[in-house]
Amino acid sequence: MPEPKAADNLIVVVGNIGTVYDGSSRTEANRKFREYVKQSKETGCRASGEEVTLFAGGEVILREYRPAIHLPGKTVLLGLLRDLKSSIGDDYRASGCEDEPNPSMDVTIGWTPHSGAWSYQTGDNSFTGGAYGHPVWAIITLDRKVNSKELVIDIRNQLLDQMY
């Protein structure tokens, strides 16, 4: 890693915030860098789960914290889908499937990537409910005959597709 020259402009950038320092003081740049790396590793901060990068003269000098992504577990999702299948009533139809012969329901999985927190809800919810308290969502149609293992893959792919 190249050591910045005294005349290099130093910039600290935090993922979802942007530039938090732009100047020539190595001491101040390091202080800001450490401060935001600490916040990145905590929960409940604006910088939670965000990458922190220090640039000198346009070159990356330090990059910290690429947080782990904690997807909902395959086994847990599979169990959820199997339980929900058994609760599908004969008269249930997912949105857009009102004329279909197979009973079905809408299921929304909400997920917060870096904390791993998630929840679900069923039915046409018009963007209200527990799943929508999370920044990332997967929406599926569940019917009694669908392959639950394939839906688990679809759910996890939908969630990952919305990352960054």
pTM of the model: 0.62
Q: Concatenated DSSP letters for 12-54?
A: EEETTTEEEEEES-HHHHHHHHHHHHHHHTSSSSTTTT--EEE
Q: Is there a contact between 93 and 143 (Cβ–Cβ < 8 Å)?
A: no
Token match 């070159």: residue?
Answer: 59
Cα 84–Cα 89–Cα 92 angle in degrees, nearest 5: 95
Residue ranges of the domains in the chain? Answer: 10-64, 74-161
Looking at 3-12, 85-94, 126-135, 151-160, which range is the least confident one?
3-12
Integer Cα distance of 114 and 6 in angstroms: 36
Does the pLDDT value for residue 163 go beyond 80?
no
Q: With cut-offs at 50, 70 and 90, classify the pLDDT of residue 1.
A: very low
pLDDT of residue 137: 93
The C-alpha torsion from 47 through 53 and 56 to 62, rounded to 10°, is 130
Q: With cut-offs at 50, 70 and 90, classify the pLDDT of residue 48.
A: confident
Q: What is the pLDDT of residues 106-157, one digit of tens each?
A: 999 999 887 789 999 998 667 678 898 888 999 999 999 999 999 999 999 9
Question: What percent of the chain is predicted at pLDDT more than 70?
Answer: 90
Q: With cut-offs at 50, 70 and 90, classify the pLDDT of residue 9.
A: very high
